[in-house]
Amino acid sequence: MKYYILIYTDNLPANVGGRANGPVIRIKNKYRDDKGILEHEKRHVRQWWRTLGLHGLLTFHKGYKFRIEVEAYKEQLKYSPGNLDLFASFISKNYGLNVSVDEAKAALIS
């Protein structure tokens, strides 16, 4: 049984390649063949199921948000191993977590 719904769309913010809301994953059309983004978003869907739907509320806690983004980017790194610095930068700059690129990188390789 499939645990998510996948939609390809360009109706996402400019700086976003994909987004998971509950069990629904939306990915920009230009990333249709990017397995890493899909696996990253599937990880967020699993997190949503794991928390019985409370995932969205829990993301307001910076510690939780940091852990789940690290978990998702670690999954994405399996498909894009050369992007460690890029993903660490995303975590540091795009989520309001007040973590440095080095702190994000250390979490991604731990």
User: For the chain, what is the mean pLDDT?
Assistant: 96
Residue 70 pLDDT: 98
Q: How far is CA 110 from CA 8, 69, 107, in A?
A: 32, 14, 5
H or E stretch covering 105: helix 101-109
Given a cut of 80, whether residue 41 has pLDDT beyond it is yes
Domain, as residue range, for 43: 5-109
Residue 2 pLDDT: 87
Given a cut of 80, whether residue 1 has pLDDT beyond it is no
Total residue length of the chain: 110
Q: How many domains does the chain contain in total?
A: 1
Predicted TM-score (pTM) of the model is 0.94
What does DSSP say about strands 18-21 and 5-8: parallel, antiparallel, or unpaired?
unpaired
